[in-house]
Amino acid sequence: MKNILEIKDLNISFKLESQIAKAIHGISLQLERAKSLGIVGESGCGKSVTAMSVMRLLPSNAVIESGEILWKEKNILGFSEKEMQQIRGNQIALIPQDPMTSLNPLYTVGEQIHEVIALHQKVSKKEAKEIAIESLKNVKIPEADKRYNDYPHQFSGGMRQRAIIAMSLSCNPELIIADEPTTALDVTVQAQILNLIKSVQEERGTSLLLITHDLGIVAETCNNVAVLYAGRIVEYADVMSIFKNPLHPYTQGLLESLPVKNSQKLKAIKGQPPAISDNISGCPFYPRCGHRIELCKNVSPELITVSENHRVSCHLYN
């Protein structure tokens, strides 16, 4: 089995007060065992919705209209809630984006990790505590046996995120979903957390699905990249191809907006991304694109294969 996770033609909508708004338009992704896939795009493009659909943790007003999510070749969209509970935190672990709100302030950090282990592993209370302390040690938390009894407010932001990673890894998951895992952290701590996630993933052979808006993070962490725009994949390739030969005008714009050493100027993408409620007939990037042609206005481009491992959704390459 090459792919541990495969998403096929996924379509997701949200029931709003006055209408049904489509958030995900026919997304298809593949993630190989022990590999890492980055999902990149601006806020509201559908990154987190895609990730949460894998965990089956979408809001109550979300509707999966069609598609498949294959976890080890089985479609989890047909799983019961009880079956999903055995997968969440055990086989698939989530590292959420906000360490400040992801831990319960009323319980010690150790108790919260202990609870996850007790839920999924058939071990005694003593063994669960030992595993929890070892998990804290694995994420480089000093004096882990003492910090086990500390409350979240006694941890810094970076240490809280390490504790969340320890919790995520405590049951040896096969897939880690990291949803903007460094958003609330300063630059120095960001680098430490990313290096930690990457080293753990490589040491354990864990697969990684990384959700981010930062292409710099993707360059350091991922094997492959899917660029999302308005709930659609506009470019999909290995990380080297994305950076050396970006094809879609949106991907090119994202790369041009990155800070460059010794440069004072940042090049922004003009305009704003469409709202989820907008009715789009052609290419969703049409209003912001500097390379648009008349065809783009009314005809939505398909995701086509341009070269090996490189696909793009743009009429310029059709």
pLDDT band at 199 (very low <50, low <70, confident <90, very high): confident
Q: Is 310 helix (H, G, I), strand (E, B) or coil?
A: strand
The residue that leads in pLDDT, 97 or 128, is 128
pLDDT band at 140 (very low <50, low <70, confident <90, very high): confident
Total length of the chain: 318
Look at residue 262 and tell me whether its pLDDT is greater than 70.
Answer: no
pLDDT of residue 308: 86
Average pLDDT over residues 314-318: 90
Residue 276 reports pLDDT greater than 70: yes
Q: How confident is the model at residue 2 (pLDDT cuts 50, 70, 90)?
A: confident
- Map out the domains of the chain with their CATH numbers: 34-48+80-91+173-317 (3.40.50.300)
Structure confidence at residue 297 (pLDDT): 93
Give the percent of the chain with pLDDT over 70: 98
Mean pLDDT, residues 104-132: 91
The C-alpha atoms of residue 82 and residue 133 are separated, in whole angstroms, by 28
Burial 185-217 (b: 16+ CB within 10 A, else e): beeebbeebbebbbebbeeeebbbbbbbbbbeb
Rounded CA-CA distance 303/235 in Å is 8
The CA-atom distances, in angstroms, between 103 and each of 44, 108, 110, 152 are 25, 9, 11, 7
| Angle subtended by helix axes 157-169 and 187-204, to nearest 10 | 10
Q: How many CB atoms lie within 10 A of CB 97?
A: 18
Quick one: pLDDT at residue 264? 64
pTM greater than 0.85: yes
Q: Whole-angstrom Cα distance, residue 150 to residue 259?
A: 39
pLDDT over 70 (residue 99): no
pLDDT of residue 216: 85
Q: Evaluate whether 254 touches 261 at the Cβ level (below 8 Å).
A: no
pLDDT, averaged across the chain:
91
